[in-house]
Structure 1
Amino acid sequence: MQHHSMASLPRLLVIAVALLGIRTAAFGQGASGEVPDPLGLRATGELFDRYLELEDSDWLLIEAIHDDYLADFETLRNGPIADFLKVGRELRASNTGMMPSLKQLEGYFDGWRSVVGSVHRLDERFFASVKATLGEEAVEGVERARLVRRRQADAASVMGGLSLRDTSLDDVFWSMTPAAEEVAAVDDVLRGLESSTPRLVRAVAVGTVESILEVARRLDRAGYGGVTEADMNDGDRGREIM
């Protein structure tokens, strides 16, 4: 279990109360917001272009694999992801302006872990199929692309109003369309970022959820499970809760 200083609780309380009570627009928009969107064909091409020199015939094979990936993702979107988003909508409807109960939050975040894990598994199967199809020479480049996608997917699922999208230095570098000699000059740095940032971003995504749950557990133990935005905006009431 993670432990947080009392000084950090006001910020976490705001996150926890706002998460399902205020961010109405984040729900009901497909998978975006709390669940990673599928890796699109254009984004796939941009990732592989970073690390591989592929023939037109290779791209045709990749497109076929990607079609299967999107079909699998559609099944996931119409099933578990839709169910997860429905839970979020139901929590909003039943807890307007009020922090959901600990049991509700635990159920919601269990669902989040499940659907995000399912997206990761679809991604893993996609990249494994590409590796097997393109052969040994492409394995390293495909693996580098896989690591970038893993980091981007976890960044897209960070909760609590935090955003890690478009903040990675390697993405900034590639957005400038660097020349081959520029890539070669910083390739060791890029490899370091690619290998380390997925783990760090995942830690932020999971840690944010655990922080919200820890606040809910503390409030529940103290008898303040029904805390609302109005409670936290009321100076006397807020101090009592804290």
Structure 2
Amino acid sequence: MRRALSAGVVLAALLVTVTACQDELLRLGMPEPVTRQGERILNLWQGSWVAAFGVGATVWGLIIWACIFHRKRSEELPPQVRYNLPIEVLYTVIPFIIVAVLFYFTARDQTEINRLSSNPDVVVDVTAFQWSWQFDYPQQDVTVVGRTGQPPTLVIPTGETVRFNLASTDVVHAFWVPAFLFKRDVVPGHPNAFEITATKEGTFAGRCAELCGIYHSQMLFNVRVVSPQEFDTFLASQPSGSTQ
């Protein structure tokens, strides 16, 4: 009985490990997305990799087939031809179709990811500076400011559209949250914006992804995704015009 129980525990642990590895393998090593936009990005990458694997398998299959079935069998020279019109049409049309399909899905997803709604639920003005971040909630008059070596925390709710308005006070930075599967440059004099809808609660790391000076490596921040109720509580706990 004890041996059977031990075997069951080992089997259960093995199944959990295999399932986790399989999930990571299907994500191609990318982080698990925590936004709707991130899920779309992951699906686009997965589709692109499936197409790439399909093309690779076909090419390698044809190479191996040619090596095996058309290897040198004698000193006799095989028939020589100048061209093969059907094959030439085939290897011209098929790549065109593949590129056209990839272009369609890329353009479709890019348009959706860059779409800005007319009335987002939450607005966050993100200001990048050497070497930290400032997060302003203009609708609630709340400000969160970090310092070099003291990362600020950006709090956003799940299930609501959050718009980030990006600006820089000095040099080029980049707003990057790996769990969003998304990065956007923050360029002085050129305001940028994007929107996300978070789907999972938790705390996620963010950082500047553009070399911006001597303390670039310390230009970090955290993103805390909470329920809408917790988000309202967070805002209510901050005095108007507060700075953390």
TM-score (norm 1): 0.25
**Greater Rg, structure 1 or structure 2?**
2
Higher relative contact order (CA 8 A, sep 6+): 1
Decide which structure has greater helix share.
1
TM-score (norm 2): 0.25
